[in-house]
Amino acid sequence: MADPIFVEGGILVPAESIEMRAVRASGPGGQNVNKVASKVELRVDLSLIRGMEAHSRQRLRHLVAKRLDDDGKLIVTSQRTRDQHRNLQDARKKIHDWIAKALASPKKRLPSEPSRTAMERRLAEKHLRAELKRERHTRPEIDD
């Protein structure tokens, strides 16, 4: 069983919510790649995370939506290094970072208005375009 993950604000990912599996990594590594299971796959049950408010939990689900399995568990993999322990630490850091990112509430957007100069410039461009089109539609008079 894995160790719990502590996140700021008293949030805890308990050990019982984390399942760890070591598998063979893909990519270069010579003969070692076929013998050693250095890639780490963690599955985290998001519903067991303690101390998280509902809106933060919803943001976390949205943030990691592509990494959820059919049971709603977060799947995190790491194969950056050839060492299983370092890959485990990397995967745990990814989980920590996603939870920390979900805790930060998004800034509320304040609608802004265009400046007076920008509005005048836009209207002047519209008048120029309208004049150009008007000139195209005037027919020259034909004298018979």
Residue 45 domain-assigned (yes or no): yes
pTM over the 0.85 mark: no
| Structural domain count of the chain | 1
Residue 9 pLDDT exceeds 90: no
Residue 135 pLDDT exceeds 90: no
Q: How confident is the model at residue 1 (pLDDT cuts 50, 70, 90)?
A: low
Residue 30 pLDDT exceeds 70: no
- Rounded Cα gap, residues 38 and 30, in angstroms: 13
> Is 133 buried (19+), middle (13-18) or exposed (0-12) by CB count in 10 A?
exposed
Residue 57 domain-assigned (yes or no): yes
Residue 54 domain-assigned (yes or no): yes
Q: What is the pLDDT of residues 51-86, one digit of tens each?
A: 988 999 999 999 999 999 998 899 999 988 888 899
Q: What's 88's domain CATH number? A: 3.30.160.20
**What's the pLDDT at 37?**
84
CA distances from 35 to 24, 25, 31, 69, 91 (A): 8, 10, 7, 28, 21
Residue 52 domain-assigned (yes or no): yes
**Which domain, by its residues, includes 16?**
5-103
Instruction: Identify the bridge partners of residue 76 per DSSP, sorted by sequence position.
Output: 42
Across 100-104, 113-117, 140-144, the highest mean pLDDT is recorded for: 113-117
